[in-house]
Structure 1
Amino acid sequence: MLPIIDAHHHLWDLGANRHPWLQEDPPPAFRYGDTRPLRRNYLPADYRRDAEGQNVVGTVYMEAEHDPTDPLRETRWVHRIAASHGLPQAMAGAAFLDRSDAAAVIRAQAAMPLVRSLRHKPKGVARPQDYDPAHRIPGSLRCPAWRAGYRHLADSGLHFELQTPWWHLPDALELARDFPGTLVVLNHLGLPADRSAAGLAGWRDAMARLAEAPNIRVKLSGIGVPGQAWTPDSQAPVVLEAVRLFGAERCMVASNFPVDGLVAGFGTIMGGMRAILAALPEAAQRRILAGTATETYRISL
């Protein structure tokens, strides 16, 4: 069984830290539905139990929407967890790019040994038919204040973790071209939740244009569809299309656990990814399962 670097997972201790989306009522709307099953501690022992048998040899922690008043507190907590439990080997922290303290927070995050990237989910519209390339929604990818904070990433040496639906990928392409020195890691395949013919065509076109930017990487993750079983047959079209567009050298697998546990088990997802990728040459499989993440997040095992 080829080794895996899980490029995107979460941990949380709801007794020690504040995560508003997991602790406040009513629960926020979420693409997978009810998030209340996630309202429990999820620590390294829980992750290892879920990942058992999948030959996961390293992991990357993704910021988990910790208390926005103190993003560095989450980073320090993750470093303590890593020192005590041996994972994660790298992490993505949080920074709020449209705030006045963005530059200071980016510098502080960059000084932390495990931090390789930062995430701030940009605002946008909920439906592709509402997308307007001329928009300047506050907090969006085209927002001047948001982009003013983003430019500090180039000096920090950190990557940017982008989570946005596919209809905002034209904005992401513009961002990548305007800041070619910053690597952008697209989370969750651009969220291709609409698997209708029209939905997949829109997603495919947006991804094809995004692939033109060399400073983009893609996480093959977070693609569960509520009410549908996670199977290799159902997920192969989007996974293999992303690999075709970006190449194995720019793609990496990730579990998005425990969040994706709302739609499927860890073994179902990672075993399914192995099955989908099995038709590719072994070198490409190794790259997607571990090599791209190892390089992107500078992981030394």
Structure 2
Amino acid sequence: MADAPFAQSSPHLHVREDWLALTREEVLEPDLPIVDAHHHVWDRATGRYLFDELMADIGAGHNVIASIFVQCRSMYRADGPDRMKPVGEVEFINGLAAQSASGLYGPARACVAIVGFADLMLGDEVVPVLEALKHAGNGRLRGIRNTTAWHADPAIRTNPVPPPPGMLADPRFQAGARQLARHDLSLDIWAYHTQLDEVLALARACPDTRFVLDHAGGPLGAGPYAGKRDEVMREWEAAMRRIAALPNVWLKLGGLGMPVGGWDFHLRAAPPTSAELAQAWQPYVMTCIELFGPQRCMFESNFPVDKGMFGYVSLWNAFKRLTMAMSGPERASLFSACAQEVYRIGR
């Protein structure tokens, strides 16, 4: 009998390999270079996604040439000051990146860029943490992300440790974000569509900082937003249009496999096909590309979080289906070049 779709005490869906195996597809356009702009690595009571699991997905048939790790509270140090404990995560991921860079596991370069965690609520006092993270990354640290996705309704939860409200508008957080520009680091932000005005204000207040908005700006479809997709779409699109007018914000397209988005693919007898995913996501993905342009958008897997709803092959096939009518340079930006530019891959 297949495992339950939800992992105990976690907002993330449980990964069911037996269920995922029920839908198999041929890889479309297997030569198209891909940089997976956003994934995680962890070992938790609710599931394991370490080097072997990551490389199995990367090696499933698509031409994934590199990947970008994004913080997820993995392998923090057990001892020392709290503000320095996240350095352990970057140390750990840098080791995985070195393992991949050996070439023994295939041509893909996993975790070639690292987005770590530093508590930006420290304001200017975050500098020693940034310096320690950069040292631990051995040249691979490219950005920082904090836990900022917040909603008052308990039905809207995507983090095992939800953040306090109002962080994005806090002057201390803004001061910390400005320090990132001085250290040549970007700021990834995961926020729901209800927080996009705060994202806009933050990006305006820190014009020298590079911002990367995760997961298509977080359009919600669960809890109080269930059955209100058209209303949410209007609010989300209006807010995204305002953010797109800022030149210091880039966008990740993905993260649409979380239940807070209102998707229920995980409840089906078999996983969705790429054609089904492309049809469901078309309004969001194409609106994002229209607003930001392909030069400021990059595709992401958000695995293993999204792996509870679909497999890696189907995911990238869906992105390929959605963009088949676009030009070669536009697709190259979406699948690899934008991520390479923003995260300075190869430099």
* TM-score normalised according to structure 2 size: 0.73
- 1:65 equivalent in alignment to 2:73: yes
Identify the match of residue 244 of structure 2 among 177, 202, 211.
211
In structure 2, what residue type is equivalent to 1:178?
A
Task: Indicate the SS of the match to 2:88.
Answer: helix
Q: Is the 8 A contact 1:98 1:139 kept in 2?
A: no
Q: 1:126 to 1:244 in 2, by over 3 A?
A: farther
Structure of higher CA gyration radius: 2
Q: CA deviation at 1:187?
A: 0.6
Question: What's the RMSD between the two structures over aligned residues?
Answer: 1.9
**Aligned residue for 2:51?**
44
Task: Indicate the SS of the match to 1:152.
Answer: helix
Deviations 1:162-204 (A, max 9, x none): 0001121111111111111110000101111326110111111
Deviations 1:10-59 (A, max 9, x none): 112x3xxxxxxx44xxxxxxxxxxxx3xx12x222212222311110011
Task: Measure the CA separation in 1 of the matches of 2:166 and 2:175.
Answer: 11
Q: CA deviation at 1:115?
A: 0.5
- 1:97 equivalent in alignment to 2:120: yes
**Aligned residue for 2:342?**
296
Identify the match of residue 75 of structure 1 among 90, 114, 117.
90
**Aligned residue for 1:181?**
208
Q: Is the 8 A contact 1:163 1:188 kept in 2?
A: yes
Identity %: 31
In structure 2, what residue type is equivalent to 1:105?
V
Task: Measure the CA separation in 2 of the matches of 1:250 and 1:9.
Answer: 19
**Aligned residue for 1:197?**
230
- 1:117 equivalent in alignment to 2:143: yes
Equivalenced residue count is 269
Q: CA deviation at 1:125?
A: 2.9
* TM-score normalised according to structure 1 size: 0.84
Q: 1:196 to 1:123 in 2, by over 3 A?
A: closer
**Aligned residue for 1:258?**
304
Task: Measure the CA separation in 2 of the matches of 1:121 and 1:277.
Answer: 31
Q: CA deviation at 1:65?
A: 2.1
Q: Is the 8 A contact 2:114 2:140 kept in 1?
A: yes
Task: Measure the CA separation in 1 of the matches of 2:335 and 2:318.
Answer: 12
Q: Find runs of 4+ consecutive structure 1 residues off by over 4 angstroms.
A: none
In structure 2, what residue type is equivalent to 1:74?
E
Identify the match of residue 7 of structure 1 among 31, 37, 42.
37
Task: Indicate the SS of the match to 2:290.
Answer: helix
Q: CA deviation at 1:122?
A: 2.1
- 1:226 equivalent in alignment to 2:263: yes
Task: Measure the CA separation in 2 of the matches of 1:300 and 1:150.
Answer: 25
Q: Is the 8 A contact 1:124 1:140 kept in 2?
A: no
Task: Measure the CA separation in 2 of the matches of 1:265 and 1:243.
Answer: 23
Q: CA deviation at 1:123?
A: 5.6
**Unmatched 5+ stretches in structure 2:** 1-28, 102-109, 154-163, 222-227, 266-271
